[in-house]
A and B are shown apart, each in its own frame.
Chain A
Amino acid sequence: MLALRRSTHLLTKGFCSPVSVRTFASPSGNPPPAEGFMPGVSSSKFIKNTSEQVFANSELKHLKNGETKKLNLFQAINEALHTALVTDNKAIIFGEDVAFGGVFRCTMGLEAKFGKARVFNTPLTEQGIAGFAIGVAATGSTAIAEIQFADYVFPAFDQLVNEAAKYRYRSGDQFDVGGLTVRMPCMAVGHGALYHSQSPEAYFAHTPGLKIVVPRSPIQAKGLLLASIRDRNPVIFQEPKILYRAAVEQVPVDDYVLPLGKAEVLKEGKDVTIVGWGSQLYVLENAIALAEKQMPGLSCELIDLRTILPWDVETIAKSVNKTGRLIISHEAPVTMGFASEIASKIQERCFLRLEAPIQRICGYDTPFSLAFEKFYMPNAHRCFDGIKRVMEY
């Protein structure tokens, strides 16, 4: 586990082009074919290629400086972190290997600009990182901690669930850790296997006191990360690592935030509501294109949940009351995944309007295996099949 984590294995293989900083783990010659590459991200309708498209969004309209810059997701994260450090002199960034720029390049250049006291490496200890971050936040500073992979957040589970989440409540609001944000790369990457692929959001979603956020694109990543850092509650911020380089779009240059706790309707439709988050949205976009092509007249509504906890029940319920059908899709295993919570609540809210059973199209209830990833994933064909099934019910 450690040997792999300390290397830049995932950067040097597949869709991630090799970085010059570390080469010891690189395969010689050209990288192998990018099995983890997500077809459709670059051609996605949800990716903004022009600043006109960017500012057409009602959440970004108000930005006075109309400038945008072409960034991929890791660069957008880097911009957000840069802005956080500039606008808040009590903000610090730390974690394993963040000083040289991070194994996914998200903290590039920050140590040089802001100094070792504000951007620094910690020893290799996730419970230590989380506990240290809680202490920083409890003292009124802003802690932006990084867990190298979401798969390695579990040693910090006690600190996040028993401590961070309950800090304000148990002290009667005398103390809080609102200044705490824990960033972590998550989701599948094509070849990450058991410990470089997980999506732990459902574990945390069972914990009152935490907020959980997953962005889908560079614009979203910058705005949601800045909102998370400034939110007065501890936030788990999961970054779909397959999008670090694959998702590229025009991102506003301004300092801006996007609302937490608010879903976004990406595509309006009348027949079926489809909910997802993170990189799964691009899979769903492809599945919808396939379904709408094969079933003329079909129109699907696609919603990016964005915040897992507290989630936006109103937007989903409103959509399902219109369409009468609901599909929820995530990479994490199906049993007790967050789709179960959405399905249950929407069944309560929209019982009379539902015309088909709510479908969960998710990972299977197995660990995330290396050789079988393409059979495990809730891919476009599985999602397409789900759409067909609810429409034909």
Chain B
Amino acid sequence: MAPIVSFPGAVDGSHYTENLTFLLKYETIPTYRVLDTEGNVLDPAQDPKLDKDLCLKLYQHMLTLNGMDLILYEAQRQGRISFYMTNYGEEAAHLGSAAALTLEDVIYGQYREAGVIMYRGFTLDQFMNQCYSNASDLGKGRQMPVHYGTKELNVQTISSPLGTQIPQAAGTAYALKQQGKKACCVCYFGEGAASEGDFHAGLNIAATTESPVIFFCRNNGYAISTPAREQYRGDGIASRGHGYGMATARVDGNDILAVYNTMKEARRIAVEEGRPVLIEALTYRVGHHSTSDDSSAYRSKKEVSDWQRLDSPINRFRKYLENKGWWDNEKEAAFKKSSRAEILAAFARAEKQKKPPIENMFTDVYDELPWNLQEQKAELAELMKKYPEAYDASGYATSAPKA
């Protein structure tokens, strides 16, 4: 055997060689799956054998998520909410991963993870209230629609800047470990966000600090209009995990059972072994990027409809349930009907509510209002009194009475 190099930078060791070789070709990382597209289990040993109740809950959440997306997408088209982003095609990645976690695990999302929050118990009313930025919105009406967050369910509030949550999740995981919690942090992001510097910063710092964090990349092939081929030239996002010295897996993101298994094992590694994990879930963004986007400008409608027809995560799971005799057309129709009614009822309730009190514009910038904000709040109150025609406050709740 060739002698071992002694340079301190070779932390995992290295051997000398007299052959000049540039590493160019390597095997791409395989994509783990449990179900085929017809919902058949390929290797029975891989079936997590989730019980019927859980399976039905997961499937029904997929349908509810779809139903909610449909209503809120249309609501935005009609100008009733200002913005929306659908989750079409990524339902299995959300629900399969969420089901393998506990409520003690802290979630950081990007903005296309509504299924994860739904699984944890975020109600239709809470989704709607946030999108309507009404007086019941937990975020007090400050952020754009789909920027959810809930302390109760351990989901850190979503922000627009891409990738910022990645090093934050590492810090949270480190703190969880320090606090002696038997929990991990899970950080979702897309393959586009993985090009940000914060991805590099976050994965590297998580590795060196041995933080129990699971980085879950939703690779749906597009970042708005930019196809993956223009996003990177390596073997997707998963191939980067090795470079950071991180346990890594690639999974079929349209296979809910494969996603579940992957996340389950990732959680075990993170919590029990106290180190970070990278998961890349391959999926396809069936919807437009957002309501501000028409994706037919950069990809064919046929490409989209082929994915919907040939590899829908919902259909695949439905076939699995049907094979088990747990689901059928009748159940499907009945559930869709009742679910749609619930969504519309929550929608109507949210729409009826007033906006939050206007003073919420000034609070929570700091823990207390500094002098400049007190002055500016008073100035606005004066202006509103002076020019009521310019400041219609009728749609806003009044301030809570002072204690």
Chain A residues in the interface with B (C-beta under 8 A): 90, 92, 117-118, 120, 122-123, 125, 127-141, 143, 155, 158-159, 162-163, 166-176, 178, 208-209, 211, 232-233, 261, 310, 313-314
Task: Give the shortest distance, in Å, between A17 (CB) and chain B (any CB).
Answer: 29
User: In the complex, how many residues of chain B place their beta carbon closer than 8 angstroms to a beta carbon of chain A?
Assistant: 48
The docked-state distance in angstroms from the alpha carbon of A209 to that of B151 is 20
Q: 1/0 per position for B180-199, CB-CB distance to A under 8 A? A: 00000100000000000110
Contact of B205 among A122, A162, A170 (CB under 8 A): A122
Besides the known contacts A138-B156, A174-B151, 20 further A-B residue pairs in the complex with CB atoms under 8 A apart: A117-B178, A125-B201, A128-B201, A134-B167, A135-B168, A136-B171, A139-B106, A139-B175, A159-B164, A159-B198, A163-B161, A167-B157, A168-B364, A168-B367, A171-B149, A172-B139, A174-B139, A310-B370, A313-B372, A314-B371
The docked-state distance in angstroms from the alpha carbon of A178 to that of B367 is 8
- Which B residue's beta carbon lies closest to that of A162? B161
The docked-state distance in angstroms from the alpha carbon of A158 to that of B197 is 11
B161 and A128: CB pair below 8 A?
no
Residue of A136, A175, A261, A314 most packed against chain B (CB within 10 A): A136
Instruction: Pick the 3 closest A-B CB pairs, nearest first.
Output: A135-B171, A131-B167, A128-B201
**CB neighbours of A233 from chain B (8 A):** 366-367
**CB neighbours of B147 from chain A (8 A):** 170
B171 and A132: CB pair below 8 A?
yes
Q: Does B202 contact A (CB under 8 A)?
A: yes
**CB neighbours of A92 from chain B (8 A):** 174, 178
Contact of A120 among B164, B171, B209, B367 (CB under 8 A): B209
B170 and A131: CB pair below 8 A?
yes
Q: Does B398 contact A (CB under 8 A)?
A: no
Q: 1/0 per position for B136-155, CB-CB distance to A under 8 A? A: 01111011000101110000
The docked-state distance in angstroms from the alpha carbon of A122 to that of B156 is 24
- Which A residue's beta carbon lies closest to that of B166? A131
Task: Give the shortest distance, in Å, between A186 (CB) and chain B (any CB).
Answer: 23
Answer whether A135 and B159 are a contact pair too, CB < 8 Å, given A155-B197, A261-B370, A310-B371: no
**CB neighbours of B167 from chain A (8 A):** 125, 127-128, 130-132, 134-135, 159
Q: Does B399 contact A (CB under 8 A)?
A: no
A209 and B365: CB pair below 8 A?
yes
Report 24 cross-chain contacts, Cβ distance below 8 Å, ordered by A residue: A122-B209, A123-B201, A123-B205, A129-B205, A131-B166, A131-B171, A131-B202, A131-B205, A132-B205, A134-B167, A135-B168, A135-B172, A136-B175, A162-B164, A168-B367, A171-B156, A172-B157, A174-B139, A175-B149, A175-B156, A209-B366, A233-B367, A313-B372, A314-B371
**CB neighbours of B117 from chain A (8 A):** none
Residue of B138, B166, B172, B363 most packed against chain A (CB within 10 A): B172
**CB neighbours of B150 from chain A (8 A):** 174
- Which B residue's beta carbon lies closest to that of A232? B367
Answer whether A173 and B197 are a contact pair too, CB < 8 Å, given A135-B173, A140-B175: no
Task: Give the shortest distance, in Å, between A231 (CB) and chain B (any CB).
Answer: 8
**CB neighbours of A208 from chain B (8 A):** 365, 373
The docked-state distance in angstroms from the alpha carbon of A208 to that of B156 is 21
B196-213 contacts to A (CB < 8 Å): 197-198, 200-202, 204-205, 208-209
Residue of B157, B170, B185, B372 most packed against chain A (CB within 10 A): B157
Q: Does B179 contact A (CB under 8 A)?
A: yes
**CB neighbours of B174 from chain A (8 A):** 92, 132, 135-136
B208 and A123: CB pair below 8 A?
yes
B142 and A163: CB pair below 8 A?
no
**CB neighbours of A139 from chain B (8 A):** 106, 171-172, 175-176, 179
Task: Give the shortest distance, in Å, between B217 (CB) and chain A (any CB).
Answer: 17
